[in-house]
Structure 1
Amino acid sequence: MKRNIKTIAVAVIALVSTAFYAHADSKPFKELNSKEVVMNYVGASLLGNSEYTKEMFADNFEYSNTANNDKFGKKDYVNYLNSVKDLKYNSTQTIEILDQVGSTTISKVTMDFGSFKRVDYITLIQSAEGWKINKVVTTYP
C-alpha cells in the first residue's frame, strides 16, 4: 500500500512536471486546480522536485512551524526548498482538501515518517495567475 501511494504520487508529479516543461513560456500554475498545486508542494517538500517553487507561492506567502515558532516568507522558503533539491524523504503522505469556497482552499497534508508525523495545513488563494499557496502551517501531532 505504501509503495502504491508513493508510486502514484511520483507518477502524478512527473506528469505535472512534464506538462510544465511543455508550456515553459506560459504561467505554469494557471491551468492547475488547487489539489494539483498541493501535490506540487508535496513534490517539492518531500520528493526534492524544486521546479516552479517560486511560482507556486503567492507574493505574501508565510510559512510557520508551531513546534519552534519559526516563520519564513516566500524568498526564504523557496531558498530552503531549492537547497533540498533532489533530497527524497522516506515517508507516506495523504492529501485532503478540507474546504474550498470561492477563491480559497484549505488543505491538509499528513506525512508519516514512521517514528513521527508532520501535518501541513495549506491555504491557497486563486488569483489571475491561478492557484497560489498563501500560507503553510506545520504541526507535529
Structure 2
Amino acid sequence: MKNLKSIVLGLALLLICGAVNAKPTNDNESLTANHAINTYVDAITRGKLNGLNDVLDQSVKFSMLRGKKVLSFDKKQMMEFFKGDKNVEQACTTSTEIVESNADVKLVKVDMKFDGFTRSNYVTVANTGDGWKITNVYSVFK
C-alpha cells in the first residue's frame, strides 16, 4: 500500500510539473522584434508566408517611393501581393541593419541588392499589446 501511494504521488507530481512547464498555444512570446523582421524578410525574399499575417499589425501601412510619387498600400492589399509571390525566391542579396532601437520601437533597414539596383525597406516594428508587430514599411529604390 505504501508503494502504491508513492507511485500515485510521483505520477501526480509528474503531471503537475508537465502542466506547469507547458506553453500556452496562443501566447505572444514568439512575437519578438527579431521574429517579426525574420518573418518579413522570408516573405519578401523567399515567398515564405508562414506567420506573416501574425507579425503585421492590423493598421500596417506600406509605402513605396517610385520616382517622385509615393504609393501606399494597406495590409489586405499587401497580403494579396505576397500571395501572388508565394514560394518565389528573389535573385538578391539581403542584409538587415538596426537603425534605431528602444524598448517600444525598432527601425530596421532591410536592403535587397539586385543586379543594377537596391531596394531599401525601412521597417518599423512596435511593441504592441499583442507582441512585436510591423506597423510601417517604407521602400526606396536606388
TM class by smaller structure: 0.7 to 0.9
| Partners of 1:98 and 1:106 within 8 A in 2 | yes
Between the aligned partners of 2:81 and 2:134, the Cα distance in structure 1 is: 16
Structure 2: state its 5+ residue gaps.
Answer: 1-22
Between the aligned partners of 2:95 and 2:77, the Cα distance in structure 1 is: 26
The answer to whether structure 1 residue 66 and structure 2 residue 78 are counterparts is no
Q: C-alpha displacement at 1:24, in angstroms?
A: 10
- Residue in 2 that maps onto 1:121: 122
Between the aligned partners of 1:117 and 1:39, the Cα distance in structure 2 is: 19
Same amino acid, percent of matched pairs = 22
SS at match of 2:121: strand
SS at match of 2:98: strand
Between the aligned partners of 1:61 and 1:104, the Cα distance in structure 2 is: 14
| Runs of at least 4 residues off by over 6 Å | none
Between the aligned partners of 2:34 and 2:108, the Cα distance in structure 1 is: 8
* TM-score, L = length of structure 2: 0.76
- Residue in 2 that maps onto 1:4: none
Question: Superposition RMSD on alpha carbons, in Å?
Answer: 1.8
Between 1:102-111 and 1:32-41, the stretch displaced more is 32-41
Q: C-alpha displacement at 1:40, in angstroms?
A: 1.0
Structure 1: state its 5+ residue gaps.
Answer: 1-22
The within-5 A match list for 1:46-125 is 46-67=45-66, 68-125=69-126
* TM-score, L = length of structure 1: 0.77
Between the aligned partners of 1:42 and 1:24, the Cα distance in structure 2 is: 27
Q: Larger radius of gyration, structure 1 or 2?
A: 2
| Partners of 2:126 and 2:132 within 8 A in 1 | yes
Aligned positions, number = 118
